[in-house]
Structure 1
Amino acid sequence: MIHRRRTAMAAFLLPAIAVYGVFMIYPLARGVYLSFTDSLGGPRADFVGLDQYSAMLDKPAVTAALWHTVLYAAVVVIMQNALGLLFASMLFRRPRVRRALSVVLLTPTLISPMMAAFIWSYLFAPSGGINALLGVLGLDGLQHVWLGDPSTALYAVAAVNIWMFAGYSCAIFLASYLNMPTELLDAAAVDGATGWRRFRSVEWPLLAPALTVNVTLSLIGSLKVFEFPLVLTNGGPAGSTDTLTLLVYRNVFGGGKFAFGVAVSVLLLVTVVVLSSATSSLLRLRERRI
């Protein structure tokens, strides 16, 4: 009986495993192999060992792109989750408007990233919506060339990412809020725990699983960002918004350095796996301690 059940389970799992192997495992293994060759994207590929990775060490553009990618991810993860948590806390305390405002906050996630980037490219333009609004408010001194200044371009691109997905983080935090034991919250109110004290002592520990999910998802998504820097700045000005994904795109599809671009993609993969795994593990450890 047990043997028959295991056979049936294997029969159901085999098609899924085959599809996953063909469309995920094989392309990944093939990509890693090509990063050790001099392939130009055609059938011919001679093994060259670590030459592509050595070339990466000699290119400051790769180091700069790695730094921009990590900095971008840090800004997005912190701000997106801080805003999501703030909105969720406010909506939890205002049940009458919760549904309507939740829909409003989630609306940006329904727009394609490419469309959102084109919309914000107009808003960030020197004569665009943001500078025009500042002019109307009499804040002409704050007007700026947001995407044309290397000191602000990366943060402007990150702001678009935050705007688009803060509502998604809010939804996850709000779901955790709504699942909190009402008895515990009532007991905290009876004990006089209100405001910041209630949040720090009661709500924040109960939000630990939601925080782990939100931070992990936003970290992975921001490390792999592509559409926003491509459309808004294309890596400029002066390479200040170049990311690893843009380097992969340029080298694989237009730079004539296919194997080098694949090697950069492997570097991106390692960066995503290491950072997301370490962050998730630390947050899971925090959950167990709480």
Structure 2
Amino acid sequence: MFRRRGRLTAILFLLPALAVYGVFVLYPLVRGVLLSFTDNLGGPVSNFVGLKQYKTLFQDATAMHALAHTVIYAAVVLVVQLTLGLLAASALAYRVRIRRTVSSLLLLPALISPVMASFIWSYLYRPDGGINTALGELGLQALQKIWLGDPSIALYAVAAVNIWMFVGYSCVIFLAGYAGIPSELLDAAVIDGANRWQRFRRVEWPMLAPALTVNVTLSLIGSLGVFDFPLVLTGGGPVDSTNTLALVIYRDIFNNSDFAMGAATAMLLLVLVMVVSTAASVLLRRRERAL
């Protein structure tokens, strides 16, 4: 009897949260899936067209290029951001006096909104902006670029802003992983004569596996769905070189009023994020258990 009352009480407490989740998550998701099978152009009339929108989507060169750009962008952000975050965490882990101050400074960019950060970097990236001016003062004129106007480097320039904003998060997560490493293991490694690289490779890196899993998952989810940075910095240009799936969705719905195609593209992005992040998480969890 008491168990039944406990279950009933738990269900009653869960109902408000479930209702909010259903209204703001499940219903829009189901509505989006259904919309992608229609020819809706923003009006009240919709005709069921089956997989027509998806066939059109995969035959659309612009959308497929945006898909490739999204994957490349996510890969660049993942590798560079996690590498820099790990290097920073490794350098700060045993420097107690400066660790808190430096990690707080690294987190400061994340307090700025992505739109504001994009505006700041748009000025730095200008041909006469801060980056090219600094390179000129250092005598490195050969490295000066039209950062956001060159299709070959614009995507990487946009990714650099993302990395600058969130490398502090990666660093802090790795620092939390370092805090969980037993000091006895490190002391034993030192007694055995292990140098700094050997301690990192044999002791620290395996023990940082849970932090790596969290970092990879968060980075993939955030970078695959990137929208703010390319929208403000380049608008998807030049020559669609920084166009992403999120930007394609935005243009389909708000510029072209093609709600059905926008929904189909959103479903593609959703599946991409779910498959990639889930696969990465599963593989990294297996690695954790194998260590």
Coarse TM-score class (shorter-chain normalised)? over 0.9
Partners of 1:9 and 1:24 in 2: CA distance: 22
Partner residue, 1:35? 36
Percent of counterpart pairs with the same letter? 64
2:212 aligned partner: 211
Moved more, 187-196 or 145-154: 187-196
Q: Distance in 1 between matches of 2:176 and 2:83?
A: 16
Alpha-carbon distance in 2 for matches of 1:35, 1:96: 55
In structure 1, the partner of 2:183 is 182
Tell me what 1:117 maps to: 118
Partner letter of residue 267 of structure 1?
L
- Greater displacement, 95-104 / 271-280: 95-104
Secondary structure of the 1:114 match is: helix
Deviation of 1:213 after TM superposition, in Å, equals 0.1
1:256 deviates by: 2.5
Query: What per-residue deviation string (whole Å, max 9, x for no partner) do you get for residues 185-238 of structure 1?
Result: 111111111211110000000000000000000000000000000011111111
Q: RMSD of the alignment, in Å? A: 0.7
Structure 1 letter corresponding to 2:34: Y
Consecutive aligned runs of 4 or more in structure 1 exceeding 4 Å deviation: none
Does 1:137 find its partner at 2:138?
A: yes
Cα deviation, residue 68, structure 1: 0.3
Shift of 1:130: 0.2
Question: Which amino acid counterpart does residue 143 of structure 2 have in structure 1?
Answer: L
**Mapped partners of 1:145, 1:214: distance in 2:** 32
Rounded Cα–Cα distance in structure 2 between residues aligned with 1:21 and 1:66: 29
TM-score (norm 1): 0.99
Give the drift of 1:40: 1.4
**2:60 alignment partner in structure 1:** 59
The one-letter code of the counterpart of 2:188 is A
1:231-277 Cα deviation digits (max 9, x unpaired): 11111111111100000000101112121111101100000001001
2:112 and 2:158 mapped to 1: Cα distance?
16
Q: In structure 2, what residue type is equivalent to 1:90?
A: A
Report the counterpart of residue 287 of structure 1 in structure 2.
288
Match of 1:229 in 2: 230
- 1:165-176 equivalent positions in 2, closer than 5 A: 165-176=166-177
- TM-score for the superposition, normalised by structure 2: 0.98
1:14 aligns with 2:15: yes
SS in structure 1 of the partner of residue 186 of structure 2: helix
Q: Which amino acid aligns with 1:12?
A: F
Alpha-carbon distance in 2 for matches of 1:168, 1:245: 23
Gaps of 5+ in 1: none
CA deviations 1:92-143 (Å, max 9, x no partner) are 1321111111111000000000000000011011110000000010111110
Range with bigger deviation, 51-60 or 237-246: 51-60
Q: For residue 2 of structure 1, what is the aligned residue in structure 2?
A: 3
What amino acid maps onto 1:140 in structure 2? Q
- Separation (CA, whole Å) in 2 of partners of 1:41 and 1:200: 56
The equivalent of 2:247 in structure 1 is 246
**Residue 27 of structure 2: aligned partner:** 26
Match of residue 106 from structure 2:
105
The one-letter code matched in structure 2 to 1:16 is: A
Separation of aligned partners in 2, 1:170 and 1:57: 38
Please give the per-residue CA displacement for 1:53-95, whole angstroms capped at 9, x wherever unaligned: 1111221111100000000000000100000000000111321
Match of 1:265 in 2: 266
Residue in 1 that maps onto 2:193: 192
Q: Aligned AA for 2:265?
A: V
Q: Does 1:150 align with 2:177?
A: no
2:136 is matched by which residue type in structure 1?
G
Greater alpha carbon shift after TM alignment, 84-93 vs 206-215: 84-93
Distance in 2, Cα, partners of 1:60 & 1:254: 18
